[in-house]
Structure 1
Amino acid sequence: MAIKHPEYTARSARLGSYQTFPRHMKQHPADMTDAGFYYAGFGDCCRCFHCGIGLRNWDPEDNPWIEHARWSAECPYILKMKGQAFIDLVQEAARAAEMADNDGDNEADNESASTQSKSAVNEKSGANNSEPNSTAGNSSYEIENNVAKASEAEISKGTPEEGGSSAGNTIEAKPIKAPLRTAAAQSLIHDEHIKPKFVTAAIDELVKTEGWGAFSLENIRKYLKSQEDSRKSATSASNADPSMLKQENKELKDLTICKICLDEKVSIVFLPCGHLVSCPQCAPALTKCPICRKGIKGTVRTNLVEKNTLKANTLDKNNPKTNTKKT
Structure 2
Amino acid sequence: MSSTLQHDGLPVGAEKQDKKPDERGERRFHRQSALMYESVRRQTFINWPLTFLDPDKLAAVGFFYLRTEDHVQCAFCRGIVGFWDPSDDPLTEHKKHFPNCPFVAGVATGNVPKDGSDDQTGKAFKLLDDYYNYRVANTRPQSSTNYQTDSLCIPETNKVAFPALNTIQSRCQTFARWPKGIGVSIDALAEAGFFSTGLADWVQCFHCGGGLHSWRQEDDPWTEHSRFYPYCPFVRMQRGEDTVIHCWKENPAPSVPPRPIALTPEESDLLLHHPIAKRAIEMGLSPASMKGALKLRLEKLGMMCRTVTEAMELVFDYEEEQRRNNAEKNSSYDGIPIAETRDSTPTEHMTVEVQNPFFPMDSSAIPFSIEQNPEYLKLLSEVEQLRRDVLMEEKRLMCRQCHGQRVAVVFQPCSHLHLCAECARPVDTCPSCGTVVRGTLRPIIG
Name the TM-score, length of structure 2 as normaliser: 0.23
Ranked by relative contact order (alpha carbons within 8 Å, sequence separation 6 or more), the top structure is 2
User: Is the radius of gyration larger for structure 1 or structure 2?
Assistant: 1
